[in-house]
Amino acid sequence: MLAVGCSSGGGNDKAAPAFDLEALGQHGERVTLAEHRGTPVVLNFWASWCAPCVKEMPLLERTHQRLGDDVQFLGIDGNDSRRLAVDLMAKTKVTYPSGYDPKDAVFRQYRLRGRPTTVFIDADGTIKGIHAGELKEADLHDLLRRYLGIDAT
């Protein structure tokens, strides 16, 4: 597990870059970070061609269902085929919103290096931590508690 706390000099955390993307599988809907201000966000960057992404999606969905309104789960599918991404969301029964970022603009804005990567954002819109690589259940629970103060057990 690679978990990285995101602090810039002086202990000040970095504001999460805003985004506004077309929602996968929901014609005319948008996925934005701004609409979730006031709620902690678990932001997962994924793609249908990424085997570890596919493996962790059911865990993210289960945790999303368990936590309800305590935290908002969002996905960003990038560098991918829209059709394959929508098919994967249906296959894995993911219900949380995912935005479509075919050119990886948001991925680059967040300065990420690989998939899957999960970003933990507090209710004020501040990045509290980043996890690069596939999440396992114990890791996800630990990171939710450490970065967002949420007990997922």
**pLDDT at 66 > cutoff 60:** yes
Q: What per-residue confidence (pLDDT) applies to 2?
A: 46
Helix (DSSP H) and strand (DSSP E) numbers for the chain: 4, 10
**pLDDT at 114 > cutoff 50:** yes
Amino acid at 41: V
Query: How many Å apart are CA 86 and CA 43, to the nearest integer?
Result: 18
Q: What per-residue confidence (pLDDT) applies to 153?
A: 87
Mean pLDDT confidence for 31-54: 97
Q: What per-residue confidence (pLDDT) applies to 28?
A: 86
Q: Return the residue matching tokens 């000040």.
A: 12
Q: What per-residue confidence (pLDDT) applies to 1?
A: 43
pTM of the entire predicted model? 0.92
Mean pLDDT confidence for 112-136: 97
**pLDDT at 7 > cutoff 70:** no
Mean pLDDT confidence for 35-42: 97
Query: How many Å apart are CA 6 and CA 4, to the nearest integer?
Result: 6
Yes or no: say if 99 and 31 are a contact pair by the CB < 8 Å rule: yes
Question: CA angle, corner 121, sides to 118 and 123, nearest 5?
Answer: 150
Say how many Å lie between the first and final Cα of the chain, rounded: 19
**pLDDT at 42 > cutoff 70:** yes
Question: What are the distances in angstroms from CA 34 to CA 16, 31, 74, 80?
Answer: 10, 9, 12, 24
- pLDDT, the chain, mean: 92
